Amino acid sequence: MTKSFKKFGCLASMLGTVLFASSTFAASLNVKELAVGLSNPWGMVFLPDGDILLTERAGKIRRFDMQTGLGEPLAGVPEVAAVNQGGMLDIILDPGFSTNQTIYFCYSRPTEGGSSSSVARAKLGESSITDVTDIFIADSVADNGFHFGCRLAFDAQNALYASLGDRNFFKEEAQNTDNHFGTIVRIDTKGKPIADNPFIGGKAPEIFTYGHRNVQGLTIHPVTGEVWAMEHGPKGGDEVNKLAKGNNYGWPVITYGINYNGDIISDKTHMEGMEQPVLYWDPSIAPSGMTFYSGEAFKDWQGDLLVGALKFTHLRRIEMDGDTPGEQHEFLKERKERIRDVTVGPDGLIYLLTDSPEGKLLQVSPAE
Whether residue 229 is predicted with pLDDT greater than 50 in this model: the reply is yes
The domain containing residue 333 runs over which residues?
A: 7-365
Confidence of residue 1 (pLDDT cuts 50, 70, 90): very low
79-124 tens-digit pLDDT? 999 999 999 999 999 999 999 999 999 999 999 999 999 999 999 9
Asked if residue 175 belongs to a domain, the reply is yes
- Dihedral sign for Cα 334, 339, 345, 348, please: positive
Q: What angle do CA 272, 193, 215 make, to 5 degrees?
A: 55
Number of neighbouring beta carbons within 10 Å of residue 75: 11
pTM of the predicted structure, to 2 decimals: 0.94
- Give how many domains the chain has, as a whole number: 1
The CATH number assigned to the domain holding 201 equals 2.120.10.30
Question: What CA–CA distance (Å, rounded) separates 105 from 122?
Answer: 8
Peptide bond into 357 cis (omega under 30): no
Where residue 316 falls (left for φ over 0; alpha for ψ -120 to 50; beta otherwise) is: beta
267 belongs to a structural domain? yes
Asked if residue 31 belongs to a domain, the reply is yes
On whether the CB atoms of residues 323 and 279 are closer than 8 A, the answer is no
Asked whether residue 1 is domain-assigned, the answer is no
The answer to the question of residue 86 being in a domain is: yes
Contact 313, 339 (CB under 8 A): yes
221 labelled catalytic = no
2 belongs to a structural domain: no
Q: Does some domain include residue 30?
A: yes
CA distance 180 to 217: 18
- pLDDT for 167-189, tens place per residue? 999 999 999 999 999 999 999 99
Find all residues with CB under 8 Å of 188, minimum gap 6, and list them.
Answer: 158, 159, 160, 194
Binned at pLDDT 50, 70 and 90, residue 56 comes out as: very high
CA–CA distances in Å: residue 134 to residues 77, 100, 137, 321? 12, 17, 7, 39
**Would the CA dihedral through 283, 14, 255, 147 be positive or negative?**
positive
From 147, 180, 212, 232, the catalytic residue? 147
Which of helix, strand or coil describes residue 257? coil
